[in-house]
Chains A and B, each alone.
Chain A
Amino acid sequence: MNSPEERGISLAALKKGRAGRVLAVQGGMGLARRLESMGIRPGVLVVKESNSFLKGPVMIRVGQAQVALGYGMASRILVEPEEAGPQ
């Protein structure tokens, strides 16, 4: 099994409209915990709803919720793109 870094791409780099499974959150425990409490944690499927423009926030759908997160944060979330679309 490859490491998450090799299998995944960052959420910031994921294409708009594509789904991805969260592999890992890089950086401090603080961010990982914050994201986890909002349901964004390894193993969860997220759908990228809109790309940021000018490195602004990225919008994703996780479960039933829509969450906006800063570009920097999105860059630290590693996801594995899923072949099939969201539905």
Chain B
Amino acid sequence: MKILLLGNPNVGKSVLFSRLTGVHVLASNYPGTTVEFVQGTTRVGGEKARVIDVPGTYSLEPTCKAEEVALRILEDHCGKGKEDCVVVNVVDSTNLERSLYLTLQLVAKRLPMVVCLNLWDEAKHTGISIDKDALERILGVPVVPTVAVAGEGTGTLVEKIARARVPTYRYEKEEIWKEVGKIVSAVQVICHKHHTWRERLGDLAVHPATALPMAVVVGLLSFFVIRFLGEGLIDQVFDPFFARFWTPMVHGVSRLLGGAGILHDIVVGHGVSGEIDYAGSLGLLTTGIYIPIGAVLPYLFAFYLVLSILEDTGYLPRLAVILDTFMHKLGMHGMTIVPMLLGLGCNVPGVLATRILETRRERLIAATIMAITVPCMSQLAMIAGLVGTLQGGVHHGVAVFGTAFLTLFVTGLFLGIFLNRLTRGESRELLMDIPPFRLPYLPGLFKKLAMRTWWFLKEALPWVLFGVLLVNLLEISGGLDFLGRLAAPLVQSVLGLPREAVGGLIFGFLRKDVAVGMLAPLGLNWRQITVASVVLTMYFPCIATFTVFLKEFGLKDTFKASIAMVCTSFTVGGLLNLLLKSLGGWGPGGAENASR
């Protein structure tokens, strides 16, 4: 048996899907979270059933790409000759009228069906009551109220799926809205309700006078929470863990391997007899583990916590609304802010999330700008660590991050204006349902956080280990030195970096965090760190991002985007180097740093 979850965007299909199958998929409070074909299995009456989470749609007469996908999935799985299929129509109880439009279109398909009235609790709170028995009688299919986030009603839903029926309701196609109206007035009663504080907050988030100050406050708050939490986790949890448990273990392994030799250098790295230099020793057990877990994970965790809260409250679509005009000047539309923010965690899900945008043109512009100007958390965390080693850390931190982000932002601006002119076609106008402000449902939030953290470890750890191994082998064989000599003119004169930095730049293609790690032993000053950070962000995405880019946009456009990346990075990097040099004594550290 096959079960298709079908309904309007942002009604909770993905949450319901997770509840039914135990397969955890990302769910957020904005339309378009599900962009991929997702399936899992559940048991209905002792029998195994496939469950398919269909991207949200308002209509079975598709009006955009995502809706076409939804219709195709429905036809592929429930078309002629495929009788073993049940449609679970997930309905937003707070928005019955609009939801029923799709319901009636599904009714006309004459497929076995169950209607699931989700967000039942929210409807009650807002003074909406729906007579589910009456709806059941009218449509002739089982109707089940659910609160998917809390798992209420999902057991009943599974029972009813076994008793799904082909609807008995018939109507004239031209009269569909009239029919919807008739049903709504027969089953729904709305009591007068008061404005809640959440609605007021939601209004403030888009009101012309308050929207921008609120966006700035949310942005700053997010930044400080991420920094505070990331640093706190490192100081209180991760550093003590490495000092107390990991270091003695590594010493043990070192002794076991005889304290020297090639195998020793590969596994535990160079010079670990005394203090372990986790950043520079290049061993699999030292640098290879420390980069992803000791340095990146704490910040990544903090970042995803903040992002998940922003997602689940419903703030992001409101941010999209206020940024829409600005984004259009850059050839994108407001909702682009969602993939961009995701890209700040990791570019891979960021590029995938561009599917939320409607046209290929918008997607390509957004993905290219992201690949060039949005640094990922892995890189940012390592840079934070690198800056921390400078004397007078805080001022340097402000200088490095301030200069780097400003440079990236300005570059993104120019790129957007340029790409907008260069590529043909217009960006679609914004048309989006704005979900109500909601308090995040904490168990769901933590589940999402765990998923994203696990996903990072699964994706990053092998690549970091591979990268560290490769760097180490090149170091041992002298290849790194050779490459350094080869690229020295470019790196030294244009970017003002020491030639040993070439290795870091090359390995940025593998993992940005490994690349920054390789810069650590070079003793760079804050200007050099800034230039290196900007160039590392821009010049090429890491291999994982590159692969997704290739898969999403094909060889030709990936090639074009790559040219844009290389050109932009060396132009901007060179200019930034000149600018910072000419400013001389400006900034922390003063002249003695600049002359280094």
What separation, in Å, do the CA atoms of A52 and B328 have in the docked complex?
A: 14
Chain B residues with CB below 8 A from A71, complex form:
429
Within 8 A of A (CB), among B205-229: 206-208
A18 to chain B, nearest CB (A): 16
What separation, in Å, do the CA atoms of A66 and B334 have in the docked complex?
A: 16
What separation, in Å, do the CA atoms of A54 and B126 have in the docked complex?
A: 33
A37 touches B63 (CB 8 A): yes
Chain B residues with CB below 8 A from A15, complex form:
none
B101, B202, B325: which has the most chain A beta carbons within 10 Å?
B325
Task: Tell me if B44 counts as interface (CB < 8 A to partner A).
Answer: no
Task: Tell me if A51 counts as interface (CB < 8 A to partner B).
Answer: yes
B321 touches A59 (CB 8 A): yes
Q: CB-nearest residue of chain A relative to B325? A: A56
A56 touches B321 (CB 8 A): yes
Within 8 A of A (CB), among B471-488: none
A10 to chain B, nearest CB (A): 14
B95 touches A65 (CB 8 A): yes
Q: How many inter-chain residue pairs (CB < 8 Å) link A and B? A: 90
A72 to chain B, nearest CB (A): 5
Would you give the 0/1 interface string for B156-194, flagging 1 where the beta carbon is closer than 8 Å to chain A? 000000000000000000000100000000000000100
B97 touches A68 (CB 8 A): no
A67 touches B433 (CB 8 A): yes
Given contacts A38-B431, A38-B433, contact A57 B334 (CB under 8 A): yes
B177 touches A68 (CB 8 A): no
Task: Tell me if A30 counts as interface (CB < 8 A to partner B).
Answer: yes
B94 touches A56 (CB 8 A): no
Q: Could you say which of B177, B206, B324, B325 contacts A41, with CB atoms under 8 Å apart?
A: B177
B429 touches A73 (CB 8 A): yes
A68 touches B208 (CB 8 A): no
Within 8 A of A (CB), among B116-152: 126, 128
Chain A residues with CB below 8 A from B432, complex form:
67-69
Q: Could you say which of B102, B207, B322 contacts A56, with CB atoms under 8 Å apart?
A: B322
A36 to chain B, nearest CB (A): 8
Q: CB-nearest residue of chain B relative to A64? A: B95
Chain B residues with CB below 8 A from A7, complex form:
none
Chain B residues with CB below 8 A from A33, complex form:
59, 61, 63
B430 touches A57 (CB 8 A): yes
What separation, in Å, do the CA atoms of A63 and B206 have in the docked complex?
A: 19
In this complex, the interface size class of chain B, counting residues with CB under 8 Å from chain A, is 35 or more
Chain A residues with CB below 8 A from B208, complex form:
50-51, 53
Total residues of chain A contacting the partner, CB 8 A: 32
Task: Tell me if B436 counts as interface (CB < 8 A to partner A).
Answer: yes
Q: CB-nearest residue of chain A relative to B61? A: A33
- A contact face: mostly helix, strand, loop, or mixed: mixed
A20 to chain B, nearest CB (A): 18
Would you give the 0/1 interface string for B86-100, flagging 1 where the beta carbon is closer than 8 Å to chain A? 000000001111100
B68 to chain A, nearest CB (A): 13
A68 touches B434 (CB 8 A): yes
Chain A residues with CB below 8 A from B431, complex form:
34-35, 38, 67-70, 73
What separation, in Å, do the CA atoms of A34 and B62 have in the docked complex?
A: 8
A71 to chain B, nearest CB (A): 8
What separation, in Å, do the CA atoms of A63 and B123 have in the docked complex?
A: 13
Q: CB-nearest residue of chain A relative to B202? A: A66
Chain B residues with CB below 8 A from A36, complex form:
59, 177
Q: Could you say which of B96, B430, B436 contacts A69, with CB atoms under 8 Å apart?
A: B430
Q: CB-nearest residue of chain B relative to A29? A: B63
What separation, in Å, do the CA atoms of A36 and B206 have in the docked complex?
A: 24
B95, B207, B430: which has the most chain A beta carbons within 10 Å?
B430
A69 touches B97 (CB 8 A): no
What separation, in Å, do the CA atoms of A16 and B397 have in the docked complex?
A: 45
Q: Could you say which of B59, B64, B98, B203 contacts A63, with CB atoms under 8 Å apart?
A: B98
Chain A residues with CB below 8 A from B102, complex form:
37
Within 8 A of A (CB), among B399-454: 429-434, 436
B325 touches A39 (CB 8 A): no
Task: Tell me if B58 counts as interface (CB < 8 A to partner A).
Answer: yes
Q: CB-nearest residue of chain B relative to A39? A: B98
Chain B residues with CB below 8 A from A49, complex form:
203
Chain A residues with CB below 8 A from B324, complex form:
56-57, 68, 70
Task: Tell me if B339 counts as interface (CB < 8 A to partner A).
Answer: no
Within 8 A of A (CB), among B269-327: 317, 320-322, 324-325
A75 to chain B, nearest CB (A): 10
B388 to chain A, nearest CB (A): 40
What separation, in Å, do the CA atoms of A64 and B130 have in the docked complex?
A: 14
Name 17 A/B residue pairs within 8 A (Cβ), A-sorted.
Answer: A33-B59, A34-B63, A37-B101, A38-B58, A53-B208, A54-B325, A56-B324, A59-B206, A63-B95, A64-B97, A64-B128, A66-B202, A67-B432, A67-B434, A68-B321, A68-B434, A73-B431
Residues of A within 8 A of B (CB): 30, 33-39, 41, 49-57, 59, 62-73, 87
Extra A-B contacts (8), CB below 8 Å, given A50-B206, A68-B206, A68-B434: A34-B64, A37-B58, A56-B322, A59-B206, A67-B432, A68-B317, A68-B430, A72-B429
